[in-house]
Chain A
Amino acid sequence: MKIVEVKHLSYCYVEDKFALKDVSFSLEEGSYCCLIGHNGSGKSTLAKCLMGLQPDFDGEITLFGLPLLRKNIYAIRSKVGIVFQNPDNQFVGSTVADDIAFGLENKCVPHEEMQSIIERFAQETGMLDYLDREPSMLSGGQKQRVAIAGVLAMGPDLIIFDEATSMLDPKGKKEIIDLVHRLRAQNPKLTVLSITHDVEEAARADEVIVLNEGQLFLQGKPEEVFSHQAELESIRLETPFFYSLLAELKKNGVNVPDSVKDLSSLEAFLCR
């Protein structure tokens, strides 16, 4: 089933200056898609369009089979969660528990059920010991985990990460990415759209979409996309270490079979 279908999406903040131009793609249920591109390539605009924060777009967006229109917006938003870049600016509650509860309050979940839901998702994100903490006492990575818990508590089918790790230190970043992978392992129906600068994260995705200056540049499985090294370099994007290594090996006449999909199997192949 197609969770997200975007057809010919265009958006301008200023007239005739396209932030997004004729972008079309779709996401399958349960897939993990990374959207990469440089600053100003329209990644965040795309996320905002998907959340219905920019209602005056051109084109068609369909989520869960519902067209993105004003009358559907609450139905769609209750199934889509988004984690933004800045950990501070999405922390609504005055404590961790209040923040996780915020979405539940909006969805009119009865008071009696809230505590158990909050505890469950705080546990899942490793924030159970911090429920009474105020945001000023948390690290950036912890705040992002709270944001994820708040999103998960609403039971979404699609989670969008809008550069959710870009303001974190390497440790916080790794924790968040590991958490996302763990969540997907637990719930195979969960669709993840991750907007990122991090090509190494994209190398682990099911699908990669590359945006450049508001237009779709490349799209496909990581091995397909990252085999276009020259094109990616032309828009100043690097290739993940594994794929650059593959390309280098090929250049030097080493024929790596297609069955090699990651670093450890490559290592095994080279050391055989």
Chain B
Amino acid sequence: MNNFALGKYVPYDTWVHRLDARVKIIAVIMLMVAVFFPLSTWSMTLLVQGTLLVLISVILACTKTPLHSILTSLRSLWVMVLFLLLIYILVPKAENTLGIAWSVNGWTVYWDSFAEAARIVVRLVMMIMLAMALTSSTKPLDLTYALQWYFTPLKVIRFPAEEFAMTISIALRFIPTLLEDALRVMRAQSSRGVDFAHGRLSKRIVGLTSLIVPLFVSSFIRSEELANAMECRCYDPRGKRTRYRKLRFHWGDLVAFLFAGAVMAGVIVLSALHVDLFALMGIVAL
């Protein structure tokens, strides 16, 4: 479960945890938009993206997500970094603002390529950090309810928002149960001589079917019994229901919403108007 860090809820009671899940979702989307808006010059990119990186790091730090789980989810980016660098170096770019890195036999590589790759990597890092801040501070169930709230208008076109939320919440509820089932079947099959970890790939795939088939059978039995239990407790998917969990909107949520909105608006304005703060201040920069 260690590589499951992205999306793992960390139970603390910080201000980020207390924010309304609906606000958190929209705020994360707005900050992601801000992260992805291109800026006119490199110095501005450095300034704006740097500010955003600090901001997002602070938010993530506020959720008290353990550092090692952040690093674990960022570790998978290494492949991406190497790949991007390779692409940008091999595919020459016409723009030259930062100077030539090297030029061998007509193969010219500008520093821009490195900067471009770095920018994309930093953007990805920020994306992952934002997603982590959201999932580590919000219970999956609250996220589900928040999504349901956003889908409610779609009821007009008969989108089953409530059934959708019920399905997701049951799926989330049964993840540990099915995982336990899987482990049990795996142990049972291992004790009968199935080897899941060694041997040729084809053999391992055959071994895997001996895990998947019993798992399917048990999940079908579970779902049948669960459906019966829900029906017996008067569940009617089309009927009217009241809600025990309610999402509440506080003034703090408004502040968070406005703040994220302001950040997004600021970046969009800087980007759309090609503002160069350095030039305005008379500093000659790149």
Q: Say which residue of A81, A90, A104, A106 sits within 8 Å of B225 (CB atoms).
A: A90
Q: Nearest B residue to A110 by beta-carbon distance?
A: B242
CB distance from A166 to the nearest CB of B (A): 14
Q: Nearest A residue to B235 by beta-carbon distance?
A: A106
Which residues in window 153-196 of B have CB below 8 A to A?
169-170, 172-173, 176-177, 180
Q: Which residues of B contact A150 (CB under 8 A)?
A: 233
Q: Nearest A residue to B225 by beta-carbon distance?
A: A89
Q: Say which residue of A94, A114, A135, A136 sits within 8 Å of B141 (CB atoms).
A: A94
- Confirm or deny: B239 has a beta carbon within 8 angstroms of a beta carbon on chain A: yes
Which of B25-33, B74-82, B111-119, B243-251 has 4 or more CB atoms under 8 Å from chain A? B243-251
Q: Nearest A residue to B234 by beta-carbon distance?
A: A106
- Confirm or deny: B58 has a beta carbon within 8 angstroms of a beta carbon on chain A: no
Q: Is the interface of B mostly helix, strand, loop or mixed?
A: helix
Give Cα A111–Cα B235 distance, bound, in whole angstroms: 17
Q: Say which residue of B180, B228, B240 sits within 8 Å of A108 (CB atoms).
A: B240
Scoring B173, B233, B236 by chain A CB atoms within 10 A of each residue's CB, the highest score goes to B233
Contact call A94/B169, Cβ cutoff below 8 A: yes
Q: Nearest A residue to B246 by beta-carbon distance?
A: A111
Contact call B226/A98, Cβ cutoff below 8 A: no
C-beta contact mask, B136-157 vs A, less than 8 Å → 1, else 0? Answer: 0001110000000000000000
- Confirm or deny: A184 has a beta carbon within 8 angstroms of a beta carbon on chain B: no
Q: Say which residue of A97, A108, A114, A154 sits within 8 Å of B233 (CB atoms).
A: A154
- Confirm or deny: B68 has a beta carbon within 8 angstroms of a beta carbon on chain A: no
The answer to whether residues A106 and B236 also contact, given A92-B170, A136-B176 and a CB cut-off of 8 A, is: yes
Which residues in window 96-111 of A have CB below 8 A to B?
97-98, 101-111
Total A-B contacts with CB atoms under 8 angstroms apart: 96
CB distance from B228 to the nearest CB of A (A): 6
- Confirm or deny: B222 has a beta carbon within 8 angstroms of a beta carbon on chain A: yes
- Confirm or deny: B285 has a beta carbon within 8 angstroms of a beta carbon on chain A: no
Contact call A102/B233, Cβ cutoff below 8 A: yes
- Confirm or deny: B205 has a beta carbon within 8 angstroms of a beta carbon on chain A: no
Contact call B240/A82, Cβ cutoff below 8 A: no
A interface, size bucket: 35 or more
Q: Nearest B residue to A115 by beta-carbon distance?
A: B244
Q: Which residues of B contact A89 (CB under 8 A)?
A: 221-222, 225-226, 229
Q: Which residues of B contact A241 (CB under 8 A)?
A: none
Give Cα A151–Cα B141 distance, bound, in whole angstroms: 23
CB distance from A224 to the nearest CB of B (A): 32
CB distance from A263 to the nearest CB of B (A): 36
Give Cα A194–Cα B180 distance, bound, in whole angstroms: 29
- Confirm or deny: A78 has a beta carbon within 8 angstroms of a beta carbon on chain B: yes
Give Cα A94–Cα B231 distance, bound, in whole angstroms: 18
Contact call B244/A104, Cβ cutoff below 8 A: yes
Which residues in window 199-221 of B have CB below 8 A to A?
221
Further 14 A-B residue pairs, CB within 8 A, beyond A101-B244, A103-B233: A51-B228, A51-B231, A77-B233, A80-B232, A84-B229, A86-B222, A89-B222, A89-B229, A90-B226, A92-B170, A93-B173, A108-B242, A109-B242, A111-B244
Residues in chain A within 8 A of chain B (CB atoms): 48, 51, 53, 74, 77-78, 80-82, 84, 86, 88-94, 97-98, 101-111, 114, 118, 134-136, 150-151, 154
